[in-house]
């Protein structure tokens, strides 16, 4: 079928116009929930169509200024609408969010007509999410302390300012010390930890042990184990609760390692993922079938877990990662793969991330095979489990230790069984 006539009539752009209209309807639907907003379904749909039409006319006449003129007209109209109802403008809803949403809707519609439809749709969904979760986002902002906000700003600086400035080449023995690569790993680990910490601060202590364990594991499974071991020692009624948090945090550690592996060396997932998955499954099943019904503390106080992103800890991790990387490369060159295994056993006691990243880095250079990387990760996880159990016994007491022992042991056993099956 000859569809040239559609192009002649401009109807070949109809799907793009419909996509722009859908974006307007999506954002407008959310704004309909706000009774004080001076815009809803019809307003946002029309704004989207205006933005789409402006983009088309700008292309036809080779005049990009048309988009700017249209944007100015739309923004002026919305501001005038709020100013006309000055009482609501000042007392109920200043309208800044709705005006910003209108501008976003207009520009996203223009993006659709400019060939960025998929990106525009994704951004439209994000805009709608931000608008919908207004109360939750306000609560999150209020739940963060000044120190936490400073840490977030520091993370942004080291990610978007410092990282691009670092040289991207190897230095030192074996050329394994790549400043940009080392700092990228710091950003990766700190980013995951910081996200978990912020989520932990937002949810608070009343949302359940599993959630606390999940986000605590993202921050630091070692810190979470230590904090809740102290809690169990201080409040004997909180032993079951603490055990659940600790076990959940250490199961999340396995997920954390899988994510790190997927980002740094995705081709190793074919072996690492099944091993970590079996370890997690065995630990989770053991806990579910072996635990008592979780006791609920009447008044649970959140144990202290420090913000994972401060400049000093970040620099400390960079030094640790560089040291483990250099030492691993030297030992692998000196005695073969057994060298990485010795480092994994030692460093895994306190930190699994550094040896995992070092192993993946050595794999990328050809110094280790996938099987050797997986073995090193399993050794590190096993050493880490032993260290966590020691913490639960020494700090939390024998009762907490007995509750953690079956599931945590099952994690290590599952990892070794997985290593045997998949390597």
What ranges do the domains of the chain cover? 10-132, 146-422
Residue 305: alpha-carbon gap to chain centroid: 18
What is the rounded average pLDDT of the residues 251-261? 90
Question: Which is more confidently placed, 79 or 206?
Answer: 79
**Total-model pTM:** 0.64
Tokens (6 digits) for 282: 């065995």
Res 294: pLDDT: 47
152-171 pLDDT per residue, tens = 777 888 888 888 888 888 78
Tokens (6 digits) for 122: 């994704």
Q: Best-predicted range by mean pLDDT among 6-15, 50-59, 348-357?
A: 50-59
**Per-residue pLDDT at 423 exceeds 90:** no
| Inter-residue contact 271 to 422 (CB < 8 Å) | yes
Dist. CA 420–CA 88, nearest whole Å: 68
**Per-residue pLDDT at 149 exceeds 70:** yes
209-251 pLDDT per residue, tens = 777 778 777 777 887 888 788 778 877 767 888 888 889 889 9
Tokens (6 digits) for 266: 């995705």
Res 205: pLDDT: 54
Tokens (6 digits) for 231: 């809690």
Closest CA to 353 of 173, 187, 157, 196: 187
Dist. CA 131–CA 28, nearest whole Å: 10
Averaged confidence pLDDT in the chain? 80
Res 89: pLDDT: 47
Dist. CA 400–CA 417, nearest whole Å: 26
What are the CA-CA distances from residue 279 to residues 220, 275, 374, 381 (Å)? Answer: 19, 6, 13, 10
**Per-residue pLDDT at 417 exceeds 90:** yes
Tokens (6 digits) for 136: 């939750």
Res 385: pLDDT: 93
3-state helix, strand, coil in the chain (%, to 5): 80, 0, 15
Res 332: pLDDT: 73
Dist. CA 325–CA 184, nearest whole Å: 14
Dist. CA 249–CA 315, nearest whole Å: 24
Question: Which is more confidently placed, 257 or 328?
Answer: 257
Give the rounded percent of residues in the chain with a pLDDT score beyond 90: 22
What is the rounded average pLDDT of the residues 320-344? 78
């Amino acid at each position: 079928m000859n569809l040239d006539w559609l192009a002649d009539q401009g109807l070949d752009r109809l799907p793009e116009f419909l996509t722009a209209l859908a974006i307007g309807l999506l954002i407008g639907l959310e704004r309909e929930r706000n009774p004080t907003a001076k815009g809803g379904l019809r307003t946002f749909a029309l704004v989207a169509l205006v933005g789409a039409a402006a983009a088309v006319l700008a292309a036809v006449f080779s005049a990009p200024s048309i988009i700017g003129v249209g944007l100015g007209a739309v923004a002026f109209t919305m501001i005038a609408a709020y100013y006309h109802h000055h009482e609501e403008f000042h007392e109920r809803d200043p309208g800044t969010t709705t005006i910003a949403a209108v501008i976003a809707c207009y520009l996203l519609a223009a993006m659709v007509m400019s060939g960025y439809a998929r990106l525009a749709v994704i951004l439209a969904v994000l805009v709608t999410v931000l608008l919908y979760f207004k109360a939750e986002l306000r609560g999150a902002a209020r739940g963060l302390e000044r120190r936490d906000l400073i840490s977030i700003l520091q993370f942004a600086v080291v990610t978007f300012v410092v990282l691009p400035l670092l040289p991207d080449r190897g230095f030192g023995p074996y050329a394994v010390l790549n400043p940009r690569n080392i700092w990228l790993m710091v950003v990766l680990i700190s980013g995951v930890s910081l996200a978990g910490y912020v989520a932990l601060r937002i949810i608070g202590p009343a949302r359940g042990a599993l959630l606390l364990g999940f986000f605590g594991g993202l921050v630091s499974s070692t810190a979470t184990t230590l904090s809740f071991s102290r809690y169990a020692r201080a409040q004997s009624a909180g032993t079951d609760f603490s055990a659940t948090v600790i076990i959940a945090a250490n199961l999340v550690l396995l997920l954390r390692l899988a994510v790190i592996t997927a980002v740094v060396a995705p081709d190793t997932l074919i072996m690492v993922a099944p091993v970590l998955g079996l370890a997690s499954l065995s630990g989770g099943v053991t806990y579910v079938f072996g635990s008592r019904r979780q006791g609920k503390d009447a008044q649970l106080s959140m144990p202290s877990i420090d913000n994972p992103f401060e400049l000093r800890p970040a620099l400390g991790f960079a030094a640790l990662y560089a040291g483990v990387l250099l030492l691993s490369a030297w030992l692998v060159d000196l005695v073969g793969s057994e060298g990485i295994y010795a480092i994994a056993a030692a460093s895994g006691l306190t930190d699994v991330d550094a040896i995992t990243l070092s192993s993946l880095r050595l794999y990328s250079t050809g110094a280790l095979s996938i099987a050797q990387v997986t073995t090193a990760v399993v050794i590190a996880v096993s050493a880490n489990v032993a260290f966590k159990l020691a913490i639960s016994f020494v700090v939390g007491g024998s009762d907490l230790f007995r509750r953690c022992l079956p599931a945590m042991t099952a994690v290590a056993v599952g990892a070794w069984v997985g290593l045997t099956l998949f390597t």
